[in-house]
A = this chain, B = another copy of it.
C-alpha cells in the first residue's frame, strides 16, 4: 500500500513550476483557437497571455502589465504587439515595453517575461524552461496525423480540477473501458481486464500495447464502420511527458496480423496534450482522427459525437476520484493491480524529470 502525495506548495524562493518537468514543450492550445483576441491561460503555475504578433507568429508573455498588474489578456493586439487595456502600455513579443503613452522615457524595468512558442501540426507548443529565458534544447514535438490526408479529425479541450497525472493513469490503462465506457467505446469488461498487456519504456516514453482478437465491436465502432459480430481490436498507447498518442482501432476478424502497422479497418488516432495548470488542475487538449469507410461518409462525425461523451465520462470519474482523494487525505492509500504497470512507469519518468529540475539548478 502506498500513499499518493500531492504537494501543493513550492519550496520558498524556487520556481513556481518546480513540481513539473521543466525544459519541456507543453501544449498551449490549438492553432485554430488563436485569432484576433489574446488568450490568457496558466501553465505550470505561470500565467501566460498567448497572441499572434504582427507577423502572425504565435507569441507568449507573462500575463501581467508591469505598470499596475492588469492581465495583458484583457488588452488588445495591435501594431504587432499587445497593448494593456488600462493605460495603453505596448509590449513586443520579447516582453519589452515599447511605448508608454504620454511618457517619452521607457525605464529598463518596463518589461515582462517572454516565452518561446512554436506552432506545428495545428498545435501551439510552449517551452517551459528550467531557468527563466532558457532556450529550447529539444525539437518541437511532431504530430503528423493532423496533416495526413488519410485522416479527418476534430478536437476539443477540457479544464480539469484534478492533477494531470490522474489523466495519464486513465489513458495508460484502457482496461477501464469495460466499466466506464460501456455506452461508447467499451465492450466486454472481462475481455478488457483479461487481455495481456505489453508495457515497454525508455527514459521519456512508455508504450502500452494490447490486442483483443475476436472482440465484440463496441457501439462507437459499429456506428463508424460496418463491423459484424466480432472484430480484432488493437490499442497502442504512447506516453511522453507532455502528451499521449493513442492508436486504437479494429479490423474484421482474421484479415491482418494485429501488429502490422499497415493493417486495414477502422483507425482512430487520439492526441492527448495534458498541460498542468497548477498542482491540482490541468488543461486537456484532445483531438481524434479517423479514417473513413468508403460506404460510410459520416465516420468522423459519428466518432466525434461518441468520443465527446466518452471523455465526459472520464472527466466525471477523474474529478470524483480526486475529490475523494482530497477528502480522505492521507488515508487515501492506493493498491496496485495488474493494469497499473504502464501508468506507474509514466509516474516514475515524471518523478525523475522533476528531480532533475533541482539537479540542474544545483549543478
Q: Report A318 CB to chain B, min CB distance, Å.
A: 9
Asked if B334 contacts A102 (CB within 8 A), the reply is no
Is B334 in contact with A71, judged by CB distance below 8 angstroms?
no
Chain B residue nearest in CB terms to A316? B74
Nearest B residue (CB) for A326:
B69
Say yes or no: B109 contacts A335, CB within 8 Å. yes
> A348: shortest Cβ distance to chain B, in Å?
17
Which residue in B66, B101, B169 is a CB contact (below 8 Å) of A189?
B101
| Interface membership of A63, Cβ < 8 A | yes
Query: Which residue in chain B gives the minimum CB-CB distance to A106?
Result: B337
Is the CB–CB distance between B337 and A88 below 8 Å?
no
Q: Of the candidates B110, B189, B331, which one forms a contact with A335 in the assembled complex, judged by CB atoms under 8 Å apart?
A: B110
Please give the distance in Å from A261's CB to the nearest CB on chain B. 27
Q: Is A201 in the interface zone, CB < 8 Å from B?
A: no
- How many copies of this chain sit in the oligomeric assembly? 3
How far is A86 from B321 in the complex, measured between Cα atoms in Å? Answer: 9
In the bound complex, CA of A35 to CA of B87 (Å): 42
Q: Which segment of A134-142, A175-183, A215-223 sits at the interface?
A: A175-183
Decide yes or no whether A203 CB sits under 8 A from chain B.
no
Q: Are A334 and B193 in contact (CB under 8 A)?
A: no
Q: Mark A317-343, 1 if CB is under 8 A from B, else 0.
A: 100110011011001111101110000
Instruction: Flag A81-119 by CB within 8 Å of B: 1 or 0 each.
Output: 001111111000000000011110001011000000000
21 A-B residue pairings within 8 Å (CB atoms): A1-B66, A1-B109, A4-B69, A47-B324, A64-B324, A66-B333, A66-B334, A67-B337, A69-B328, A70-B320, A71-B321, A74-B320, A85-B317, A88-B189, A89-B337, A101-B189, A102-B175, A102-B195, A102-B339, A103-B338, A107-B335
Residues of A near any B CB (own CB < 8 A): 1, 4, 42, 47, 63-64, 66-71, 74, 83-89, 100-103, 107, 109-110, 169, 173, 175-176, 178-180, 189-190, 192-195, 317, 320-321, 324-325, 327-328, 331-335, 337-339
Known: A68-B321, A68-B334, A100-B337. 18 other contacts (CB 8 A): A1-B109, A4-B69, A67-B334, A68-B169, A70-B320, A71-B320, A71-B321, A71-B324, A74-B317, A74-B320, A84-B179, A86-B179, A86-B321, A87-B173, A87-B175, A87-B179, A87-B337, A88-B178
